[in-house]
């Protein structure tokens, strides 16, 4: 694999360091060989797709998706509606993973037996760094406490030629924007704010580890073609209004579900006059309305950002692709819905608490606080994170800090700043932004997620109601400091900063004054900033950056301690078949699950997240919040012994473990929309780990159904939904006709022979959605087993 890394080591030495004669601005140029999109190929494919679609005008989102189709005819030839209905088989260009979600993705990738990734891939150590008392000590402490995870990730990265961004390098999305994002590409990331990269006019989609593994192994990645919402921007932001306020306002309009299954595509004159990093903030928080991702047409400011971050070759290639019409929507393209926003009318907005779609304009926020009966006190202000730590954000904030310092003010409450990357941190320091912030009381934390993901060891306000203001993107209960009583409000970095000087929630910096020690009133002037540094970006400590030549090193031993409680090698799942032919062995029904059963019910999050890389340990949470339809209890299952006729009651994972210990393959009977929710691969891995071979549902959520197929679990649908109630725990199911299906016999049907605990026997008919490829996965025991078998 070619290096995608900036040649950081060589920067100081000179060969890649250039000087712009016009401005005397030092800048660097990265090795762009593997980050420049293959535009000719993409545009060629798009031309072919246009013919299939009778040359109808396309949105930008469609152009990007369709130019990444693996087999356009297969995905588009159904003749029906595409957006919102068809399933697209796609070939993403790149994968990025953060340290928490990368663990299981890598463990799965390892079991495919490939020697390197099919697409350029990067790992970013950011989520596991806890903020306590400042960048240096926080980083050291977190590296020690997470050593085994970081060692594992680094060794796996070395073996497979993955770019490894060490702890301290920054937050995944900021690094992707600075280094890998390029207009017009499709990329995946194992984090929900992956869409941040959309600020550079691409489609960046947050996925689970199993989807990332598809791209890493060269398996087509499936996506239900999203609808496309056009956001038409007119006017211009001014004064205190920022791109953050645009997305906070939109979140209020769309609500947390308004973007589900949809791409937000911005267009109109209001796009071009916003900075690239500002657009990234807007794209980042598209995740808060549930959008698949967000994107923008290519702009001058994107070109400037690519040049400023050492990617002039990418900018030149994008210019050319744009001139061929690839990087914006066609004239007359139709959106599924159009939302009009006049940026000139936007005012700063504050969203929350506890949900990002509770939007209140700043001018009404004081009275909102009063109406709710909340104390008019701010307890802390936090700025930065992947959402808002651009050079522009930081210079605007520093402008306020300078005004305050000149007036003799310091912040009234703790004021924490999380730079998004080492490059931002170093550039802030060089340009005096850090000292300006520290002069008024700010604490600059490590370049990592820190308080945004709850890695904030906060000693004040334990179990006390209080209010914080952040420029982050999420504000669920307990997210930042673990205290359910902390009311967390989202606002732009400048509003957070101004409020930190006041200490009160009702302060409106546009209209209100603060009282100086002299007794005189002081009012902030609207903040001024600069989107790119005059002196160019500086790289900072390049020791955090990936090796400049991440060629795979197959001899590398992957580091996993034998007694680790957080990491465990994945053993390939055995095939279900052996020498018995292609019908499943008799399967015992573990339970009949009642009602809603999301991936959260199947594999709970919270404290279990630390076991994400250890399948045995995390499987202890299997279905612990699911309801057993026989009795209506949560986390109760029955172990029925046919020989003695006795039934023991236990927890669901405990009964699953008993079955596994007895080599008893089993099945689940489940209700409608089984597996809805986030695309968590653990929800498919865990039942399989305990020996589940088949799940029979009234209906499945599509993503989870695909995840089950990948792990070698057969998802079947009741042909008659009433059959759900006819099967209970302890019954035995046998497939009839599965062999025909696997062998490709036309019109093959799968029936189930049900043997009740009472001895009664009957048959029921099922349906399925298994494709030819998926049947091959199932026969091999899992998709990864199949990939491995193709290697040998």
Q: Rule CB under 6 A: say whether 282 interacts with ligand SF4.
A: no
Stated as kind and residue range, the H or E segment containing 668 is strand 666-670
With b for 16 or more beta-carbon neighbours within 10 A and e for fewer, the 243-266 pattern comes to bbbbbbbbbbebbeebbeebbbbb
3-state secondary structure of 351: strand
Range in contact with ligand SF4 (rule: CB under 6 A) among 268-276, 401-409, 445-453, 514-522: 445-453
- Say which residues have a Cβ less than 8 Å from residue 488's Cβ, sequence separation at least 6: 352, 353, 354, 467, 468, 469, 470, 475, 479, 480
Longest dimension (CA), the chain: 90
Selected from 128, 452, 615, 703, the binder of ligand SF4 by CB under 6 A is 452
Tell me the CA distances in angstroms from 207 to 93, 98, 680, one per residue in order: 14, 12, 9
Residue 451 C-beta: closest distance to ligand SF4, Å? 9
Residue 788 C-beta: closest distance to ligand SF4, Å? 32
**Nearest CA to 697 among 678, 676, 673, 713?**
673
Q: Rule CB under 6 A: say whether 227 interacts with ligand SF4.
A: no
Are the beta carbons of 152 and 169 closer than 8 angstroms?
no
Q: Rule CB under 6 A: say whether 173 interacts with ligand SF4.
A: yes
| DSSP class per residue in 153-180 | HHHHHHHHT-EEE-TTSB-HHHHHHHHT
Residue 611 C-beta: closest distance to ligand SF4, Å? 19
Residue 193 C-beta: closest distance to ligand SF4, Å? 5
- Say which residues have a Cβ less than 8 Å from residue 223's Cβ, sequence separation at least 6: 65, 87, 88, 90, 205, 292
Q: Indicate the residue among 287 and 346 with the shorter CB distance to ligand SF4.
A: 287
Q: Indicate the residue among 328 and 471 with the shorter CB distance to ligand SF4.
A: 471
Tell me the CA distances in angstroms from 413 to 373, 416, 446, 507, one per residue in order: 21, 10, 20, 14
Range in contact with ligand SF4 (rule: CB under 6 A) among 105-113, 170-178, 231-239, 777-785: 170-178
**Pair of tokens at residue 581:** 């032919």
Task: Please identify which residue in the block is written with the tokens 């990067």.
Answer: 122
Count, residues near ligand SF4 per rule CB under 6 A: 14
**Nearest CA to 41 among 2, 86, 115, 93?**
93
Residue 31 C-beta: closest distance to ligand SF4, Å? 26
Q: Indicate the residue among 188 and 327 with the shorter CB distance to ligand SF4.
A: 188
Selected from 95, 114, 171, 213, the binder of ligand SF4 by CB under 6 A is 171
Catalytic-residue membership of 474: yes
Q: Of the listed 262, 592, 680, 688, which one is catalytic?
A: 680
Range in contact with ligand SF4 (rule: CB under 6 A) among 296-304, 447-455, 487-495, 750-758: 447-455
Q: Rule CB under 6 A: say whether 191 interacts with ligand SF4.
A: yes
* Dihedral sign of CA atoms 367, 372, 377, 380 in order: negative
Residue 418 C-beta: closest distance to ligand SF4, Å? 7
Cα 360 to Cα 353: distance, rounded to the nearest angstrom? 11
**Pair of tokens at residue 241:** 């209004």
Q: Indicate the residue among 385 and 782 with the shorter CB distance to ligand SF4.
A: 385
Q: Indicate the residue among 168 and 184 with the shorter CB distance to ligand SF4.
A: 168
Q: Of the listed 158, 249, 396, 474, which one is catalytic?
A: 474
Selected from 30, 158, 159, 193, the binder of ligand SF4 by CB under 6 A is 193
Cα 90 to Cα 101: distance, rounded to the nearest angstrom? 22
Residues 69-128 that bind ligand SF4 (CB under 6 A): 126-127
- Say which residues have a Cβ less than 8 Å from residue 580's Cβ, sequence separation at least 6: none
Q: Rule CB under 6 A: say whether 453 interacts with ligand SF4.
A: yes
Q: Indicate the residue among 457 and 698 with the shorter CB distance to ligand SF4.
A: 457
Residue 389 C-beta: closest distance to ligand SF4, Å? 9
Residue 203 C-beta: closest distance to ligand SF4, Å? 18
Q: Indicate the residue among 679 and 754 with the shorter CB distance to ligand SF4.
A: 679
Catalytic-residue membership of 191: yes
Catalytic-residue membership of 126: yes
- Say which residues have a Cβ less than 8 Å from residue 193's Cβ, sequence separation at least 6: 173, 206, 284, 287, 386, 387, 473
Residues paired with residue 766 on neighbouring β-strands, in sequence order:
718
3-state secondary structure of 29: coil
Q: Of the listed 31, 191, 214, 393, which one is catalytic?
A: 191
Q: Rule CB under 6 A: say whether 163 interacts with ligand SF4.
A: no
Residue 339 C-beta: closest distance to ligand SF4, Å? 24
Q: Of the listed 3, 7, 75, 126, which one is catalytic?
A: 126
The DSSP secondary-structure symbol of 340 reads E
Q: Indicate the residue among 191 and 431 with the shorter CB distance to ligand SF4.
A: 191
Q: Indicate the residue among 89 and 388 with the shorter CB distance to ligand SF4.
A: 388
Catalytic-residue membership of 459: no
Catalytic-residue membership of 678: yes
Phi first, then psi, for residue 338 (nearest 5°) are -120, 130
Residue 786 C-beta: closest distance to ligand SF4, Å? 33
Residue 171 C-beta: closest distance to ligand SF4, Å? 5
Are the beta carbons of 620 and 603 closer than 8 angstroms?
no
Selected from 49, 106, 117, 449, the binder of ligand SF4 by CB under 6 A is 449
- Say which residues have a Cβ less than 8 Å from residue 451's Cβ, sequence separation at least 6: 131, 382, 416, 418, 445, 458, 470, 472, 480, 481
Q: Rule CB under 6 A: say whether 473 interacts with ligand SF4.
A: yes
Q: Indicate the residue among 395 and 455 with the shorter CB distance to ligand SF4.
A: 455
The DSSP secondary-structure symbol of 334 reads P
Can you state the angle between helices 391-406 and 493-502, rounded to 10 degrees? 20
Q: Of the listed 34, 86, 192, 678, which one is catalytic?
A: 678
Q: Indicate the residue among 138 and 583 with the shorter CB distance to ligand SF4.
A: 138
Range in contact with ligand SF4 (rule: CB under 6 A) among 167-175, 373-381, 495-503, 623-631: 167-175
Range in contact with ligand SF4 (rule: CB under 6 A) among 236-244, 250-258, 449-457, 736-744: 449-457
Range in contact with ligand SF4 (rule: CB under 6 A) among 35-43, 168-176, 346-354, 714-722: 168-176
Tell me the CA distances in angstroms from 591 to 544, 680, 688, 702, 779, one per residue in order: 49, 21, 15, 22, 25
Are the beta carbons of 212 and 97 closer than 8 angstroms?
yes
Residue 282 C-beta: closest distance to ligand SF4, Å? 14
Q: Rule CB under 6 A: say whether 768 interacts with ligand SF4.
A: no
Binding characters for ligand SF4, 381-410, by CB under 6 A (x = yes) = ----xx------------------------
- Say which residues have a Cβ less than 8 Å from residue 18's Cβ, sequence separation at least 6: 26, 27, 28, 29
**Pair of tokens at residue 252:** 């209020």
Phi first, then psi, for residue 567 (nearest 5°) are -135, 145
Cα 610 to Cα 141: distance, rounded to the nearest angstrom? 17
CA R_g for the chain: 27
Binding characters for ligand SF4, 121-150, by CB under 6 A (x = yes) = -----xx-----------------------
Residue 195 C-beta: closest distance to ligand SF4, Å? 11
Q: Indicate the residue among 152 and 472 with the shorter CB distance to ligand SF4.
A: 472
Q: Indicate the residue among 193 and 614 with the shorter CB distance to ligand SF4.
A: 193
Q: Please identify every residue annotated as catalytic.
A: 126-127, 191, 474, 678, 680
Contacting residues toward ligand SF4, per CB under 6 A: 126-127, 171-173, 191, 193, 385-386, 449, 452-453, 472-473
């Amino acid at each position: 694999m070619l290096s995608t890394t900036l040649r950081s080591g060589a920067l100081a030495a000179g060969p890649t360091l250039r000087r712009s004669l016009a401005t005397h601005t030092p800048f660097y140029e990265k090795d762009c060989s593997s980050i420049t999109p293959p535009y000719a190929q993409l545009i060629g494919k798009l031309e072919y797709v246009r013919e299939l679609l009778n040359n109808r005008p396309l949105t930008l989102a469609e152009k990007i998706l369709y130019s990444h189709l693996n087999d356009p005819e297969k995905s588009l030839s159904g003749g029906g509606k595409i957006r919102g209905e068809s399933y697209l088989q796609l070939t993403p260009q790149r994968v990025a993973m953060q340290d928490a979600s990368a663990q299981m993705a890598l463990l799965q990738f390892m079991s495919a037996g490939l020697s390197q990734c099919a697409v350029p891939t990067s790992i970013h150590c950011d989520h596991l760094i806890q903020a306590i008392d400042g960048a240096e000590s926080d980083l050291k402490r977190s590296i020690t406490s997470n050593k085994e995870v970081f060692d594992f990730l680094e060794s796996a990265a070395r073996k497979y030629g993955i770019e490894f961004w060490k702890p301290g390098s920054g937050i995944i999305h900021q690094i992707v924007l600075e280094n890998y994002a390029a207009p017009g590409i499709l990329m995946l990331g194992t984090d929900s704010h992956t869409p941040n990269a959309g600020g550079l006019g691409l489609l960046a989609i947050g996925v689970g580890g199993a989807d990332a593994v598809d791209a890493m192994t060269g398996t087509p990645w499936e996506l239900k073609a999203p609808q496309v919402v056009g956001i038409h921007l007119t006017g211009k932001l001014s004064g205190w209004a920022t791109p953050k306020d645009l997305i906070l306002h939109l979140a209020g309009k769309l609500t947390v579900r308004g973007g589900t299954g949809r791409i937000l595509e911005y267009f109109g004159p209001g796009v071009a006059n916003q900075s690239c990093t500002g657009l990234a903030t807007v794209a980042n928080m598209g995740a808060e309305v549930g959008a698949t991702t967000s994107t923008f047409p290519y702009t001058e400011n994107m070109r400037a950002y690519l040049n400023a971050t050492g990617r002039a070759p990418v900018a030149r290639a994008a210019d050319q692709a744009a001139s061929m019409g690839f990087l914006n929507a066609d004239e007359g393209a139709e959106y599924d819905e159009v939302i009009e926003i006049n940026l000139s009318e936007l005012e700063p907005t504050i969203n929350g608490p506890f949900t990002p779609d509770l939007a209140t304009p700043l001018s009404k926020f004081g009275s909102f606080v009063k109406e709710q009966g909340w104390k008019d006190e701010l307890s802390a202000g936090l700025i930065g994170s992947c959402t808002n730590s651009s050079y522009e954000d930081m210079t605007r904030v520093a402008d306020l800090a300078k005004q305050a310092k000149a007036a003799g003010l310091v912040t009234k409450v703790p004021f924490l700043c999380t730079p998004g990357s080492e490059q931002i941190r170093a550039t802030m320091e060089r340009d005096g932004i850090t000292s300006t912030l520290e002069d008024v009381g700010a604490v600059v934390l490590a370049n990592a997620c820190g308080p945004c993901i709850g890695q904030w060891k906060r000693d004040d306000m334990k179990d006390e109601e209080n209010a914080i203001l952040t420029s982050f993107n999420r504000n669920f209960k307990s997210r930042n400091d673990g205290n359910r009583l902390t009311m967390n409000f989202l606002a732009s970095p400048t509003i957070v900063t101004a409020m930190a000087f006041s200490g009160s929630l009702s302060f409106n910096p546009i209209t209100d004054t603060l009282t100086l020690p002299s007794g005189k009133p002081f009012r902030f002037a609207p903040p001024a900033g600069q989107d790119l540094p005059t002196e160019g970006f500086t790289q900072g400590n390049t020791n955090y950056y990936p090796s400049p030549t991440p060629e795979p090193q197959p001899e590398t031993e992957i580091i996993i301690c034998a007694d680790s409680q957080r990491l465990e090698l994945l053993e390939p799942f055995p095939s279900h078949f052996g020498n018995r032919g292609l019908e499943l062995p008799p399967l015992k029904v573990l339970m009949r699950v009642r009602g809603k059963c999301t991936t959260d019910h199947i594999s709970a999050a919270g404290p279990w997240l630390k076991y994400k890389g250890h399948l045995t340990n995390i499987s202890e949470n299997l279905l612990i919040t699911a309801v057993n339809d026989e009795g209506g209890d949560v986390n109760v299952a029955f172990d029925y012994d046919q020989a003695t006729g006795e039934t023991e009651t236990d927890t669901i994972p405990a009964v699953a473990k008993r079955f596994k210990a007895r080599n008893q393959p089993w099945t689940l009977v489940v209700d409608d929309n089984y597996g809805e929710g986030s695309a968590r691969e653990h929800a498919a891995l865990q039942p399989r780990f305990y020996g589940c071979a088949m799940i029979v549902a009234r209906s499945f959520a599509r993503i989870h159904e695909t995840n089950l197929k990948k792990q070698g679990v057969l998802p079947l649908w009741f042909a008659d939904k009433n059959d759900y109630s006819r099967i209970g725990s302890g019954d035995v199911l046998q497939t009839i006709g599965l062999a025909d299906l696997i062998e490709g016999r036309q019109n093959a049907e799968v029936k189930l022979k049900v043997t009740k605990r009472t001895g009664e026997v009957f048959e029921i008919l099922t349906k399925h959605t298994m494709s030819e490829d998926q049947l091959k996965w199932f026969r091999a025991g899992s998709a990864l087993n199949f990939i491995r078998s193709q290697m040998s």
